[in-house]
Amino acid sequence: MEDIAREAGVSRALVSIAMRDAHGVSATTREHILEVARRLGYRHNRVAADLAGRGAGAIGVFVADLHNDLYADVFDGIREVLDAAGRRIVLTVGAADGSRDTAGLDGLLEARVGASIGLGVRLSDAELHDRAPLGPLVLTTREVPGLLSAASDDVAGARLATEHLLALGHCRVTFLANPPGDGYLGRRRGYEAAMTEAGLDPHVQVTSYDTAEVRRCARDLLAGERRPTAVLAHNDRAAVAVLGALADLGLRCPEDVSVVGYDGAEAAALPGIELTTVDSRAAEVGRQAARIALAQVDHEAEAPEPAPITPRLITRRTTAAPTGA
Amino acid sequence: MEDIAREAGVSRALVSIAMRDAHGVSATTREHILEVARRLGYRHNRVAADLAGRGAGAIGVFVADLHNDLYADVFDGIREVLDAAGRRIVLTVGAADGSRDTAGLDGLLEARVGASIGLGVRLSDAELHDRAPLGPLVLTTREVPGLLSAASDDVAGARLATEHLLALGHCRVTFLANPPGDGYLGRRRGYEAAMTEAGLDPHVQVTSYDTAEVRRCARDLLAGERRPTAVLAHNDRAAVAVLGALADLGLRCPEDVSVVGYDGAEAAALPGIELTTVDSRAAEVGRQAARIALAQVDHEAEAPEPAPITPRLITRRTTAAPTGA
DNA sequence: CTGAAAGCGCTTACAG
DNA sequence: CTGAAAGCGCTTACAG
């Protein structure tokens, strides 16, 4: 930077201003400075800038699992908003089993981000509360009392899916639930509410996040007596595993069993799968999370009380009226 | 840090040593220091540490597209090696159309990483050479003369796939190629070699990276006269789009047309898809890329001339002998 | 706009 | 091991 200032015949401070696109420098000299910087092969040192700049800085994003397409959608929404706001993103990646949640979130803190957004965080409500003093964290697709979050209305979405099945004439609808624990409970609640209101008994089968295990579990369920005529899965990955279980048993979908997923991930639309699912509006969730995070770093008095994100049902191949008895 | 030193009754320097897990401090005092740090809610400032530490630092990873499951596999391999080496990862994300390649790679440079690994980089060979002086960059799944890269043997893999189809009795095999340009040409070459050696005419249909467009393109191909009896796609996503095109036309797979993908992504194994494909050993590519990057930051004289990564054919539902004429 | 100075929170020799 | 000091490469007032 020293060199650039000398070469461009301006002050060190002016170069700094030009690099940051701040005002206080005329457009022509700015261009000149950037030109000299380019010629000298100068590359702005973000590390030093962040340290000196008192870390107004970046927004951290923790992605629990790179294999989950849904998070990619959320990330797209986050980036859209953060790009527009001119904010940098610091990204850390976790593991599908949640074992890296703490390390990933800590990594963001050590990078001195102004606020973090967590996709797929599996820490318990209590652990999350313990971490609250460490800095603002916006959770997505999950609500924890007293903490920030951006989520689409899972209760409404699951209700939508359940009512779709009931309207088709299904009575024995099983909900294939994610492992219990804090968070990610809305879908189950929506299903139970819709069933109860229809005067039917909810039937919840708890399963795993591991698809191979979901497939085994679904196979047991579907091979048992009083087989459900429809299965609503807690997410698309699980629903696809149910499709696999049906194939294993030689059962047809939707003729023998209807299947509904949840999320609207890319894979759900694939030819050969064409899953009826609930679009959870992941990109919008991301946008909202980013706006909340921005409000935190900008110390806005009141967080933007965000508009509710309403999921929508996407009807595809895997649901139909139940046949026979 | 000041506070911790005072509270723990040791020197500032000792705290620094303890934080970095370096030696020069006894295990007991180290524990004591870390305990005090925890109690004071201290969080190591990686930004300052990096700046002071002359940036031996982290390894950068650029991921072109978060929606591509294949990159997640590569990333897993990278992290496995880098974790073991105790290196931090700085991650930036591009866009599927390649429009963010420069920004993403620059972002790593500005974070002062010691070396970068690029997944799915679409810059031209010339642009890549221009960037070479900026710092070591290891490309994956792509070879550019004179630059570092980790790649599985695409020529061999495509040959494997083509020979599988030929062995089944197919004569009219079309290769659905990615858009031309620098890089990612090995698969096409392997296909052409296998066809020519068998005394058959290669037939290459160039398409796009956009799946909707691939589907249209495949529809045209399959609806035309002299329909191929088998299609080898440049990757799994394209192959799944071909499956969609077949469904659009009311053609069956593999009865009417066999389809082979490439990559061995998770989606290829999904029930209802069950694509015959070539496993490109993505995690191993990632491991190798990480090892090469490590050799760069450690200034090892000679880069580890890595063992060739041999892809393997995974035979599933979508290939069979051609029926009828 | 300039130019000299202080500071961001660490790490790294260095003499003791 | 300690303790004082210099330095990493920037940003940010501040007087001119």
Strand partners, A231: A174, A259
Query: Of all protein residues, which has its CA closest to the C1' atom of C6?
Result: A52
CB-based contacts of B160: which residues, under 8 Å, 6+ apart?
A: B190, B278, B311, B312, B313
Q: Are B232 and B158 in contact (CB under 8 A)?
A: yes
- How far apart are alpha carbons A319 and A16 in whole angstroms? 60
Residues of chain B found within 8 Å of residue A52, distances taken between Cβ atoms: none
Residue of chain A minimizing CA distance to B236: A270
DSSP string, A308-321: PB--EEE--TT---
CA A145 from centroid of its chain's CA atoms? 18
- How far apart are alpha carbons A87 and A50 in whole angstroms? 12
Min CA distance, B161 vs chain A (Å)? 22
Cβ within 8 Å, pair A270-B266: no
Residue of chain A minimizing CA distance to B89: A92
- Smallest Cβ–Cβ distance between B110 and the set A45, A93, A267 belongs to A45
**What is the b/e burial string over A54-81, where b = at least 16 CB atoms within 10 angstroms of the residue's CB?**
eeebbbbbbbbbbbbbbbbbbbbbbbeb
Q: Work out the pLDDT band at B189, boundaries 50, 70, 90.
A: very high
**What is the b/e burial string over A297-317, where b = at least 16 CB atoms within 10 angstroms of the residue's CB?**
beeeeeeeebeebebebbeee
- By percentage, how much of chain B surpasses pLDDT 90? 76
Q: Tell me the CA end-to-end span of chain A in Å, nearest whole number.
A: 79
- How far apart are alpha carbons A273 and B204 in whole angstroms? 28
A2-44 against A154-280: fold identical? no
Nucleotide closest to B55 measured between CA and C1': D8
Residue given tokens 């797209």 in the structure block: A76
Residue type, A270: L
Strand partners, B231: B174, B259
The closest of B86, B109, B238 to A42, measured between CA atoms, is B109
CB-based contacts of A304: which residues, under 8 Å, 6+ apart?
A: A291, A292, A295
Strand partners, B137: B116
Residue of chain A minimizing CA distance to B274: A272
Nucleotide closest to B17 measured between CA and C1': C11
- How far apart are alpha carbons A93 and B79 in whole angstroms? 10
The closest of B77, B80, B66, B135 to B106, measured between CA atoms, is B135
Q: In a 3-state reduction of DSSP, which class is residue B202?
A: coil
Residue numbers in chain A where pLDDT is lower than 70:
54-56, 301-304, 324-325
- How far apart are alpha carbons B48 and B239 in whole angstroms? 48
Q: Which nucleotides on chain D have any atom < 7 A from a protein Cβ?
A: 1-5, 7-14
Q: Are A152 and A186 in contact (CB under 8 A)?
A: no
Nucleotide closest to B112 measured between CA and C1': D9
Question: Does pLDDT of B55 surpass 70?
Answer: no
- Which sequence spans correspond to the domains of chain A? 2-44, 54-152+282-297, 154-280
- Smallest Cβ–Cβ distance between B44 and the set A46, A110, A246 belongs to A110
CA atoms within 13 A on the CB side of A318: 33
Tokens linked to A253: 């979908």
- Smallest Cβ–Cβ distance between A240 and the set B43, B109, B270 belongs to B270
Choice between A27 and B142, residue whose per-residue pLDDT is larger = B142
Give the model's pLDDT for residue B309.
96
- Smallest Cβ–Cβ distance between A267 and the set B76, B89, B270 belongs to B270
Interface test mutation site (partner B, options A106, A210, A270, max chain B beta carbons within 10 A): A270
Min CA distance, A74 vs chain B (Å)? 10
Residue of chain A minimizing CA distance to B211: A270
Tell me: the pLDDT tens digits for B10-24?
877 778 888 777 777
Strand C neighbours with CB under 7 A?
A 9-14, 24-26, 29, 48, 51-52, 54; B 1, 12-13, 15-17, 19-20, 22, 42, 44-45, 48-49, 51-54, 56
3-state secondary structure B67-134: CCHHHHHHHHHHHHHHHHCCCCEEEEECCCCCCCHHHHHHHHHHCCCCEEEEECCCCCHHHHHHHHHH
Alpha helices in chain B (DSSP H): 2-8, 12-19, 27-39, 46-52, 69-84, 101-110, 125-131, 154-168, 186-197, 211-223, 236-249, 282-297
Give the model's pLDDT for residue B310.
97
- How far apart are alpha carbons A189 and A187 in whole angstroms? 5
- Smallest Cβ–Cβ distance between A75 and the set B48, B66, B71 belongs to B66
The closest of A210, A257, A214, A270 to A239, measured between CA atoms, is A214
Q: Are B142 and B125 in contact (CB under 8 A)?
A: no
Min CA distance, A109 vs chain B (Å)? 8
Our CA angle for B109, B294, A57, nearest 5°, is: 30
Tell me: the pLDDT tens digits for B148-162?
999 999 999 999 999
The closest of A68, A240, A276, A264 to B274, measured between CA atoms, is A240
- How far apart are alpha carbons A184 and A152 in whole angstroms? 11
Q: Are A319 and A165 in contact (CB under 8 A)?
A: yes
Query: What global pTM score does this model have?
Result: 0.94
- How far apart are alpha carbons B64 and B56 in whole angstroms? 25
CA A122 from centroid of its chain's CA atoms? 12
Tell me: the pLDDT tens digits for B97-125?
999 999 999 999 999 999 999 999 999 99
Query: Of all protein residues, which has its CA closest to the C1' atom of C8?
Result: A52
In total, the C-beta contacts within 8 angstroms joining chain A to chain B are 112
Straight-line distance from CA B10 to C1' C16, in Å? 16
Burial of A85 (0-12, 13-18, 19+ CB in 10 A): middle
Kindly state the average pLDDT of the residues B49-64: 85
Residues of chain A found within 8 Å of residue B99, distances taken between Cβ atoms: none
Identify the CATH number of the domain defined by range B2-44: 1.10.260.40
| Dihedral Cα B41, B46, B51, B55, nearest 10 deg | 150
Tell me: the pLDDT tens digits for B216-272?
999 999 999 899 999 999 999 999 999 999 999 999 999 999 999 999 999 999 999
Identify the CATH number of the domain defined by range B154-280: 3.40.50.2300
- How far apart are alpha carbons A273 and B273 in whole angstroms? 7
Q: Work out the pLDDT band at B92, boundaries 50, 70, 90.
A: very high
Give the model's pLDDT for residue A183.
87
Min CA distance, A193 vs chain B (Å)? 31
| Domain B54-152+282-297 -> CATH class | alpha beta
Q: Tell me the CA end-to-end span of chain B in Å, nearest whole number.
A: 79
